[in-house]
Amino acid sequence: MQNMPLAERLRPKNLDEYIGQEHILGKGKPLRKSLEANLVPSMILWGPPGVGKTTLSLMLAELTKRQFFSLSAISSGVKDLREILKKPSGLFPPILFIDEIHRFNKSQQDTLLGAVEKGKVTLIGATTENPSFEVNSALLSRCQVYILEAFGQKELNAILERALKVDAQLKEKNIKVETTDSLFRISGGDGRKLLNLLEMVVNSQFGNPEVIIKDELVEEVVQKNMARYDKSGEQHYDIISAFIKSMRGSDPNAALYWLARMLVAGEDPIFIARRMLILASEDIGNANPTAVIMANACMDAVKKIGYPEGRIILSQTVVYLATSPKSNASYMAIDAALALAERTSHLPVPIDLRNAPTKLMKEIGYGKSYKYSHNYDGNFAPQNFMPDDLKGQKLYEPGNNPRENDIRRNLQNWWKEWYGY
Mean pLDDT value of segment 285-304: 94
Arithmetic mean of pLDDT, 112-135: 86
Contact 17, 56 (CB under 8 A): no
How confident is the model over 78-94, as pLDDT tens digits?
788 888 887 776 677 88
Residue 46 near residue 131 (C-beta atoms within 8 A): yes
Predicted local confidence at residue 82, as pLDDT = 83
> For residue 15, what are the contacts with CB-CB under 8 A and spacing of at least 6?
25, 32, 35, 59, 63
Instruction: For domain 21-147, say whether CATH 3.40.50.10800 is its number.
Output: no
What percent of the chain shows pLDDT beyond 90? 36
Point out which residues pair with 134 in neighbouring strands: none
- The residues near 390 (Cβ < 8 Å, ≥ 6 apart) are 340, 344, 347
Whether 68 shows a pLDDT value over 80: the answer reads yes
The pLDDT of residue 227: 47
Confidence at residue 36, expressed as pLDDT on a 0 to 100 scale: 79
For position 414, what pLDDT does the model report?
92
Q: What is the pLDDT of residue 102?
A: 84
Are 94 and 87 spatial neighbours (Cβ–Cβ below 8 Å)?
Answer: yes
Q: pLDDT at residue 19 above 80?
A: yes
pLDDT tens for 313-359 read 999 999 999 999 999 999 999 999 999 998 998 899 988 888 877 87
**What mean pLDDT is predicted for residues 282-295?**
96
Q: Which of 296, 231, 289 is nearest to 262 (CA)?
A: 231
pLDDT digits (tens, 9 = 90+) for 223-279: 765 444 555 555 677 889 899 999 999 999 999 999 998 887 778 888 899 999 999
- Mean pLDDT of the 150-163 span: 91
Q: CATH 1.20.272.10 in the chain, residues? A: 234-322
Pick the CATH number of 234-322 from 3.60.15.10, 3.40.1000.10, 1.50.10.10, 1.20.272.10: 1.20.272.10
Position with higher pLDDT, 356 vs 284 = 284
pLDDT at 172 over 90: no
Distances (CA, A) of 71 to 9, 79, 255, 400: 21, 12, 39, 51
Question: Three-state DSSP class for 8?
Answer: helix
Q: What local confidence, expressed as pLDDT, does residue 295 receive?
A: 96
User: How would residue 3 be classed by pLDDT, with cut points 50, 70 and 90?
Assistant: low
Query: What is the overall mean pLDDT for the chain?
Result: 87
Specify the pLDDT at position 277: 95
Cβ–Cβ < 8 Å for 218, 183: yes
Tens digit of each residue's pLDDT (9 = 90 or more) over 30-47: 888 888 787 888 999 998
Q: What percent of the chain is predicted at pLDDT more than 70? A: 96
Closest-CA residue to 240 (of 256, 268, 262): 262
For the domain made up of 153-225, the CATH class stated in words is mainly alpha
pLDDT at 14: 81
- pLDDT for residue 365 is more than 90: no
| Each residue's pLDDT tens digit, 178-236 | 988 888 888 878 898 899 889 888 888 877 878 899 988 888 887 765 444 555 555 67
| Residue 298: per-residue pLDDT | 96
The per-type count for the chain, helices as H runs and strands as E runs, is 21, 7
Residues of the chain with CATH 1.10.8.60: 153-225
CATH 3.40.50.300 region(s) of the chain?
21-147
Residue 124 has a CB neighbour count (10 Å cut-off) of 29
pLDDT for residue 400: 93
pLDDT band at 398 (very low <50, low <70, confident <90, very high): very high
Rounded distance between C-alpha atoms, residue 287 and residue 55, angstroms:
48
| Whole-model pTM over 0.85 | no
Looking at residue 233, its pLDDT comes to 55
Cβ atoms of 186 and 160 closer than 8 Å? no
In angstroms, the CA 314 to CA 308 distance is: 10
What pLDDT, on a 0 to 100 scale, did the predictor assign at position 226?
A: 47
